Amino acid sequence: MNLVETFSEFKAGKTIDKPTMVKVLEDVFRTLIRKKYGSDDNFDVIVNATNGDLELWRVREIVPDGEVTDESSQISISEALSIDSDYEIGEECYQPVHLEEFGRRAIMAARQTLISRIMELEKDDIYKRYMDRMGEIVLGEIHQILKRELLILDDATGNELILPKTEMIKGDYFRKGDMVKGIIKRVEMKNNNPVVIVSRTDNYFLEKLMEQEVPEIEDGLITVKKIVRMPGERAKVAVESYDDRIDPVGACVGMKGSRIHGIVRELKNENIDIVNYTNNDTLFIQRALTPAKVTNIELDVDNKRASVFLKPDQVSLAIGKGGTNIKLASRLTGFEIDVYRDSEQGEIDDVDLEEFSDEIEGWIIDSLKNIGCDTARSVLDLSRDELVRRSDLEEETIDEVLKILKSEFE
């Protein structure tokens, strides 16, 4: 009997692998046999995984007439010969069992059991597949808009996903049939059904969008160290490069902003600040407050507080609209930041060379110290040629050092 057509309506499009499907079919028909015969010990159930053909065989030992003591495991020679005239006493008799023998009711019940088992397997399969895809970007079509959530059809699988309105960006507006991107944030079982939650506000969504746009991130040459967001308003991203030849900020922004613009559009014009990560707290806070220019910073490391002094025209930039800039800078750096107008203090006077240890290698700093240069300004006060001559460092190395130190005072 061919099962492909019989069960086609619920097998079509299923992702369950053939060995699992065969095992389910075997289990269902063995249950059918047990209900009719009391045991399935002397039965073979053969399912062809390729075409769905089913064979049921009852296997019993052939004994002389009148010596059958167990009908489930023995068959008389005369009955065996009626099945096949070549049988002899002592052999095993293979008797075909036809599905119709079980009765219409039993077959319908088995069919329902089979459908139920396959649906359970499919639910488990969906759950496992989406668990494996956690943190991936998914693209789907909106097919229903409810009060608290949008129902989306995954473009790749056709499965239903949920985008709660709490996971939508401020300014998101979608209509039925629109395509929407999000990240698979959570997968859970509710009432024995897999529920896949999609988010557009999760920090990881921004990171994955950057990974798509910036090949250096995908290749591992640039690492996203930390992301903080106010979805739809502003975000700050700290990046670091493992290759000195790559400017991580420049690579993420792209030529004339080509890489970042696509991400900004996707996030409903969310303002994204990309900053160079550093272990130097003072420098990191200064960078985190971009686009404001900082005059001076006083750190209270024990209490994780920073007093930041700026010129009056820079204060509003540092705080940002509704305090977004300073709040995000605090979350990015881990410091509580207090902003002060500074009408008296000048620019940052000088910075010890050791504070650049995350950007300039230790042996280079030691070479500069050996010629009496302990601070940034003491290096900048010497000409390029004089630094090359006195330190024995390569010209390219000196150029890179000067570039890093000059950027500190710009």
pLDDT tens, residue order, the chain (410 aa): 444 444 444 444 456 667 777 787 888 888 888 888 888 888 988 877 666 677 889 899 999 988 888 888 899 999 999 988 888 899 999 999 887 788 888 878 877 887 788 788 888 888 999 999 999 999 999 999 999 999 999 998 889 999 999 999 988 999 999 999 999 999 999 888 899 999 999 999 999 999 999 999 989 999 999 999 999 899 999 999 988 888 999 999 988 889 999 999 999 999 999 999 999 999 999 999 988 989 899 999 899 999 999 887 788 888 888 889 999 999 999 999 998 887 544 445 677 787 787 788 889 988 888 888 888 888 888 888 888 888 888 899 999 999 888 887 76
Structural domain including 251 reads: 208-272
Angstrom distances, CA of residue 162 to CA of 179, 195, 251, 307: 14, 7, 34, 44
| Alpha helices per DSSP H over 339-409 | 362-370, 376-380, 384-391, 395-409
Is there a single domain that holds both residue 31 and residue 147?
no
CA–CA distance, 282 with 115 (Å, rounded to integer): 64
The pLDDT score that the predictor gives to residue 16 is 63
Q: What is the CATH number of the domain that holds 334?
A: 3.30.300.20
Is there a single domain that holds both residue 11 and residue 113?
yes
Is there a single domain that holds both residue 25 and residue 71?
yes
Query: Which one-letter amino acid corresponds to residue 201?
Result: T
Is there a single domain that holds both residue 174 and residue 267?
no
Is there a single domain that holds both residue 114 and residue 173?
no
How many separate domains does the chain show?
5
**Would you list the DSSP string of 126-162?**
HHHHHHHTTT-EEEEEEEEE-SSEEEEEETTT--EEE
Is there a single domain that holds both residue 49 and residue 67?
yes
Is there a single domain that holds both residue 95 and residue 164?
no
Is there a single domain that holds both residue 361 and residue 337?
no
Cis peptide before 248 (omega within 30 of 0): no
Which residues on adjacent β-strands are paired with residue 339?
Answer: 308
Query: Which one-letter amino acid corresponds to residue 287?
Result: R
Q: What is the CATH number of the domain that holds 107?
A: 3.30.1480.10
Is there a single domain that holds both residue 115 and residue 12?
yes
Please list, in sequence order, all residues whose beta carbon lies within 8 angstroms of the beta carbon of residue 316, skipping any fewer than 6 positions away: none
186 in Cβ contact with 197 (< 8 Å) = yes
265 in Cβ contact with 241 (< 8 Å) = no
HSE on the CB side for 296, CA within 13 Å? Answer: 13
Is there a single domain that holds both residue 228 and residue 303?
no
Is there a single domain that holds both residue 98 and residue 27?
yes
Q: Among residues 346, 380, 398, which one ends one of the domains? A: 346
Query: Which of 31, 53, 52 is CA-nearest to residue 43?
Result: 31
Is there a single domain that holds both residue 20 and residue 123?
yes
CA–CA distance, 70 with 246 (Å, rounded to integer): 82
Please list, in sequence order, all residues whose beta carbon lies within 8 angstroms of the beta carbon of residue 183, skipping any fewer than 6 positions away: 135, 136, 137, 138, 198, 199, 200, 202, 204, 205, 208
HSE on the CB side for 188, CA within 13 Å? Answer: 7
The H-or-E segment that residue 110 falls in is helix 104-132
CA–CA distance, 77 with 87 (Å, rounded to integer): 8
Report CA Rg, the chain. 36
HSE on the CB side for 275, CA within 13 Å? Answer: 25
